[in-house]
Structure formats: C-alpha cells, structure tokens
Amino acid sequence: MKKKVLALFLLLGLAVTGVTGGVAPATGEPQVMELSLRQAVDLALKHNPQTELNRLSILKAKVALDEAKSTAKKIEDAEDFLGATYETAQARYVAPRAAEMGVKLAELGATFQENLLKFNVESSYYGVLKAEAGLANARASLDRAREQLRLAQAGYEAGTLAKAEVMGAQVLVAAAEAEVTAAVNAREVALMKLNKALGQDLQQQVRVTDRFAFQPAEFKLEEVLAATRENDPGLAAAMEQVAVQEVKFAQAKRFYTPNVYAYRNAEYDLEEARVKLAGKERDLEFSVRQASLNLQAAAEAYRVLEQNVEVARENLRVANLKLEAGVGTRIEAQRAAEDLQKMEANMLGAIYDYNLAKAMLQYRIFAGGDQSASGQTSAGTGDGSW
C-alpha cells in the first residue's frame, strides 16, 4: 500500500513539473534591450576593444621611455672614456625627450579615443530619437491625410466638392503611406548605427528611453578653449614636437657652427615645428568657436521653428474647417498640411543639431579639425550638418 501511495505522489510530481514547463515563456522571441543614453555610453565603453589597445599603447610607450633612459645612461658612462659626438648626444638627450613625448601622446590619445566613442554613441542615440520622432510625424501626417480624404468624400457626397478632390485626397494618402514606410526604414538604419557604435549585433532590438527634446546647456567659451588646449592630442603633438626639436637644436649648437648642414637642418626643423604649432593652435581655436556658434544657431533655430510649428498647426486646422464647410479647397488644406510637416521636420533637425553641437563641446570633438596625434582622427557626426 505504501508503495502505491509513493508511486502516486511521484506521478503527481511529474505531472506538475510538466505543466510548469509548458507555461514558461518562449525563449525564441527577440529580447528588447531598453537603454538610456547613459546606459548606452557605459555599454559601449565596456564592449569597446580600443580601451585595452589604449592601455597597451601606454605601456609600450613607457617601455620605450625606460629603454631610451637606459641607453642614455650607458652613453653617459661611455662618454667619460670615448668622448661625445653629435650622434651620441642625440641618443643621450633627444631620444629620451622624444620617448617622453610618446608617453604623453599615448595617454592623451586614450582619453581622446574614449571621448570620441562617447560622442559617436551620443550621435547615434540622437539619430535613433530623431528617426523615431520622424516616424511619429509621418504617421501623424498620414492621419491628417486620411482626415482630408474623409472630408473630401463627405463634401463629394454633399455635392459641394468634385470627384477630382476625392481623387487628389486619395493620392495624398498614398504618398503619406509611402513616407511612413520610408520613416520606418530610416529608424531601422538608425538602430543599426547605434548597435554598431555599441559594438553589438546589428539586429539587436533596442528601445531608447530618453526623450528627444530641446534641453538648453551653457558652456563658457574660454573654459572650453582652455580645456581643449590642455587635452587635445593633435595640439599636444605639435607642442611636444617643438620641445623635441629645441633639445635637438641645442645639441647641434654644441657641436657645430651655423655654416654646417646639421646645424642648419636642426634650426629649420625647429622653425618648422613652431610654425606648425601656431597653425594647430589657430585651427583648434577656430573649431571650438565654430562649435559654440553652431550651438547658438541651433538653439535660435529651434525657438523660431517651435513658434512656426504652432502657426502651421493653426493654419491646418482652419484649412480643414474651411474644407469641411465647403468654402475651402483640398489644395489649400494639402498645402497647410505640407507646411506643417516641413516645419516639424525642420524642428527635429534643429533639436538633433543642438544635441550634436552640445556633445561636441562636452567631449571636445570637433568636426573638420585634426585632433589626433597622427592626423588620422575620424569624428563622425551622423546626420548633423556641420
């Protein structure tokens, strides 16, 4: 009897287990990743292999510095017996200074690459927000086109509008539907760009949680200029090159007179480095001031467009009322709808441009400028018009 009861409990246990497994959620459905802008940046930094490459670059530069110092010490000891030459002086004084430059540029380059990644993620994130807002506007335009079709059909049935008005409204609906399709595709492309910036699968489903809104920010131009001059790798490379050439020229003066080729070459190398430094400083200041002006222009454009959108909405409302009353035409209502759609699109562009300019100043990434030590920096701006 006890065995029968035990067997019954075992069967009940298996039955409950089977039922529980049957109601488990399906795992084949794509998982949607919800991300704020801050989370997106942190995720990109975590997945980005450049972080480890930057660390190794700094370590290698420090090894090169240790090696240069060791060689300089050996040459110093040997000079007591063999004497000094221009070549040994360069190995003793110039090479260690150049190695110090390598360490500094590696460290600044790592910071710049991190800021560049943050900027690219923000640009891609704003691109998704803009695309989603554009899709919402396209769907709203489709709703307005359908409403105009309804009004045109009502007017035709009442005998106040011709059949051509209905046909024109139908064409407008078809065009609006095509624009919705294009907006859906634009959003998919924007999501792929974001996934690429995050370093994950391009088909990963992502839901951005931040709002696409105008959020004013203030930057003190002189503070941005000072911080950029201190941390920009391109400018630092030019400054360090001047310092290295100064050491080299000092050694040339120790061993040669101005009529010797080595002396003149060292002198011209120093002059060339100083000219390039002045150009870098001028270009960098231009880029910072231009980004600041872009920020101001985008803010002003948004404020103007915000008012224009309200006017366009009111014009469309009046045009639809006139069409419904039979005292207006579908063409008038269509033009009013197109004006509103254009204003809404321009306002989205202004918000995107403002956020992009704000990120440029925040991370000190300036389009069109050469900010890398090697002159190979690519600061992508997404869909911005900079």
What's the pLDDT at 386?
Answer: 34
Query: Cα 4 vs. chain centroid, distance in angstroms?
Result: 70
Q: In this prediction, what percent of the chain has a pLDDT beyond 70? A: 87
What's the pLDDT at 385?
Answer: 35
What's the pLDDT at 61?
Answer: 96
What's the pLDDT at 29?
Answer: 62
Between 378 and 41, name the one with better pLDDT.
41
- Whole-angstrom CA distances from 382 to 40, 99, 245 are 16, 36, 39
Distance CA 134, CA 130 (A): 6
| Residue 22 pLDDT level (bands cut at 50, 70, 90) | very low
What's the pLDDT at 243?
Answer: 97
Q: Are 196 and 48 in contact (CB under 8 A)?
A: no
Alpha helix (H) ranges present in the chain?
A: 2-22, 37-47, 50-82, 86-89, 95-158, 163-198, 221-231, 233-255, 261-325, 330-363
End-to-end distance of the chain based on CA atoms, in angstroms? 86
Beta bridge partners of 33: 206
State the CATH class of domain 32-363: mainly alpha
Helix, strand, or coil (residue 257): coil
Least confident of 189-193, 281-285, 370-374: 370-374
Q: In this prediction, what percent of the chain has a pLDDT beyond 90? A: 57
pLDDT (average), residues 315-338: 85
55-84 per-position pLDDT tens digit: 999 999 999 999 999 999 999 999 878 888
What's the pLDDT at 204?
Answer: 92
pLDDT (average), residues 301-322: 91
Between 380 and 190, name the one with better pLDDT.
190
Tell me which amino acid residue 145 is.
A
Q: Are 84 and 237 in contact (CB under 8 A)?
A: no
What's the pLDDT at 249?
Answer: 97
374 has pLDDT over 90: no
313-326 per-position pLDDT tens digit: 999 999 888 878 87
Query: Cα 77 vs. chain centroid, distance in angstroms?
Result: 53
What's the pLDDT at 373?
Answer: 53
| Residue 341 pLDDT level (bands cut at 50, 70, 90) | confident
112-157 per-position pLDDT tens digit: 999 999 999 999 999 999 999 899 989 999 998 998 899 889 888 8
Distance CA 350, CA 348 (A): 5
Distance CA 324, CA 229 (A): 63
99-108 per-position pLDDT tens digit: 999 999 999 9
| Residue 3 pLDDT level (bands cut at 50, 70, 90) | very low
What's the pLDDT at 328?
Answer: 80
19 has pLDDT over 60: no
- How much is the mean pLDDT over the chain? 85
225-243 per-position pLDDT tens digit: 999 999 899 999 999 999 9
Residue boundaries of the structural domains of the chain = 32-363
Least confident of 164-178, 236-250, 261-275: 164-178
Tell me which amino acid residue 236 is.
A
